[in-house]
Amino acid sequence: MGGLYPVLAILWSAVLTSCSSNPFVRHHPQKAAWIASPAIVAVYLPSDKLMVSRSAWFAGRTGWSESLLHDSLVALADKTLDEGLRTYAFPGMLRLSTISKSEWGPVEGRRVSEFVFVRGHFPPQGKKLQIEESTPQLVLFMHEVTLGLELGREKLYDIRRTHQISLTPTAPPKYLTLVASWTLWDNLRQQSLSWGISEAKHPISSAATPGELRKLFLDLTRNMATDLGGLP
C-alpha cells in the first residue's frame, strides 16, 4: 500500500492543476488586442432584470413588506452594483439610462462553454449606443441578476442541471446566492469581448438584513471584476 498513495497524490494534483479554465466565462480571442487602454466604459443595469426567488422568505428576513420587497431590492441592487463596479472594475464608468424595447435586437443566446449559455438583448448590428453624444468604447450589459437561496450559477445556467431546481426544498437553506449574467460589449466593433456568469455566495447567518445583502452585492461585483479579466 505504501507505494500507492504518493502515486495517487501526484496524479490527483496533476489533474487538479490542469483544471484552471472557468466554464462560466468566455473571452473573445481578440480581446487583448482590441481593448483600448483608456476606454470610456458604460454600464447598463436594467431594473426589470432583478429576480428574487422565495420572496416571502426575504420579506420576513429583511423587514420590508412583501409588496415593497422587489422595489426596495431593485433600489439596493442599483446603488450597490454601481458602487461595487466603480470600486472593483471601472472607476470612471458612465451609466446608460433605460433603453426602450424597440431599440434592442431580438433575444440572442451566446455559448459560454459546452453546457452554459448567456441569453440577452444586444443592440442591433450597426447601431452604436450613445450617451449624450459621446460613444463609449465598452458597454457592460447586466442581463439577469438572480437573488435566491442555494441557487448557484451551476443550478441556474448549466443546461444539464436546470431541471434539478427544486421548488419545495426539503432541508433548511444554508446559503444566500446572487448570480448575474453579463456581457462586456465592444460598442465600436459591435462584438462581445467577454461574456459569462458570476456568482456570490454567503452563509445564511441570523438574518438577511439589507446590510448583509449589500455585502453580497459588493461580493458579486468583486467576483465579476475577476471573471472579466484584463480590463482597460
Partner 1 sequence: MILRIIFLSALAAWSNQVFTTPYNLYSGGEIVVIAMDTSLQISVHDLCAEIVRGRPDALPLRCRIGDEWLRDSVTLNYLRWLQQNAAQKMEPQLLRARDPAVAARLQEVQERHIITLASRNDTSWVILFHGEISEPAALHYFAGLTNPSQLARTLFRRKVEPLPTAEQKAFARTQPDSYFEEAPPFLGWVGTSTGISQATVPLTPRSWYRSTLQNQLENFRYISDSSSAWNFVEDEALLNGLRVGGIWHGFIGAELFVLHSRHGVKYSRADTNHSRILDWHYDRWEIGLVGILTKPYAISPQWDLSPQGFVGFNYSFNRETFAVQDPRPEMANLRLQLEPYYKGAIAAIGARLQWKKMVGLDVRTGISSRGRTVKQDPGMQASDSETIAGAFTLDYFLTAGLQWTFRK
**Site residues (vs partner 1, CB under 8 A):** 1, 3-4, 7-8, 11-12, 14-15, 18-19, 21, 23-24, 28-30, 33, 105-106, 108, 111, 113-116, 122, 124-126, 154, 158, 160, 189-192
Half-sphere exposure of 121 (CA within 13 A, CB side): 14
Distance of closest approach, residue 156 Cβ to partner 1, in angstroms: 13
Residue with Cβ nearer partner 1 (70 or 121): 121
In whole angstroms, what is the distance from residue 56 CA to residue 30 CA?
A: 45
Residue at grid coordinates 432541508: 171
Contact yes or no for 202/213 (Cβ under 8 A) = no
Residue with Cβ nearer partner 1 (104 or 175): 104
Distance of closest approach, residue 21 Cβ to partner 1, in angstroms: 8
- Crossing angle of the two packed helices 66-88 and 210-228, in degrees rounded to 10: 40
The length of the chain in residues reads 232
Element (H, E) at 209: none
In whole angstroms, what is the distance from residue 117 CA to residue 14 CA?
A: 29
Distance of closest approach, residue 114 Cβ to partner 1, in angstroms: 6
Residue with Cβ nearer partner 1 (36 or 68): 36
Strands 175-186 and 138-149: antiparallel
Residue with Cβ nearer partner 1 (12 or 209): 12
Distance of closest approach, residue 19 Cβ to partner 1, in angstroms: 6
Residue with Cβ nearer partner 1 (4 or 56): 4
Distance of closest approach, residue 226 Cβ to partner 1, in angstroms: 18
Element (H, E) at 202: strand 191-203
The C-alpha cell of 88 is what? 472593483
DSSP SS3 for 32: helix
Residue 186 phi/psi, 5-degree rounding, is -85, 105
Distance of closest approach, residue 90 Cβ to partner 1, in angstroms: 23
Distance of closest approach, residue 207 Cβ to partner 1, in angstroms: 32
Residue with Cβ nearer partner 1 (29 or 38): 29
Element (H, E) at 79: helix 66-88
